[in-house]
């Protein structure tokens, strides 16, 4: 069964810290992996997409890495800010086009 797990489930940190969010998946034959941000009661905002042939992607203070062989991806957030507070979801796409979502990491950054 294809499953996606994220740890930690929740994280509370002071402003300015560098963070690592983890995502693991059971079936390594992925097509791509996508990281999303979800604010409370809102839809999803795509942050980064890593295709299966890539090792990492960067956007501003965000860096996502992918290790297919070990079934892992990490999202690195540099110099965290209160505006980064949200739930972060990773989702894996296999060749069926649908996304399988992880359980999410709820992040709170306090001033």
Partner 1 sequence: SAVISQKPSRDICQRGTSLTIQCQVDSQVTMMFWYRQQPGQSLTLIATANQGSEATYESGFVIDKFPISRPNLTFSTLTVSNMSPEDSSIYLCSVLAGGGYEQYFGPGTRLTVT
User: Which CB sits closer to partner 1, 10 or 79?
Assistant: 10
DSSP-derived letter for residue 53 is T
User: Which CB sits closer to partner 1, 11 or 99?
Assistant: 99
Which H or E element spans position 47? Answer: strand 44-51
- Binding test (CB under 8 A) with partner 1, winner from 11, 13, 22, 49: 49
| 41 scored as a contact of partner 1 (CB under 8 A) | yes
d(CA 24, CA 108): 22
With contacts defined by CB under 8 A, how many residues of the chain interact with partner 1?
Answer: 21
30 with 68: CB under 8 angstroms?
yes
Secondary structure (3-state) at 60: coil
d(CA 102, CA 95): 18
List the x/- string, 82-111, binding to partner 1 by CB under 8 A. Answer: -------x-x-x---xxx-xxxx-------
Interacting residue ranges for partner 1, rule: CB under 8 A: 32, 34, 36, 41-46, 49, 51, 89, 91, 93, 97-99, 101-104
């Amino acid at each position: 069964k294809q499953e996606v797990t994220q740890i930690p489930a929740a994280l509370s940190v002071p402003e300015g810290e560098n963070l690592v969010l983890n995502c693991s998946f059971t079936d390594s034959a992925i097509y791509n992996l996508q990281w999303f941000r979800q604010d409370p009661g809102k839809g999803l905002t795509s942050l980064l997409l890593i295709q299966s042939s890539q090792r990492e992607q960067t956007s501003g203070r965000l860096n996502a890495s992918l290790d297919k062989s070990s079934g892992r991806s990490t999202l690195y957030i540099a110099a965290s800010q209160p505006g980064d507070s949200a739930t972060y979801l990773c989702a894996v796409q296999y060749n069926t086009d649908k996304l399988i979502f992880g359980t999410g990491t709820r992040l709170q950054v306090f001033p």
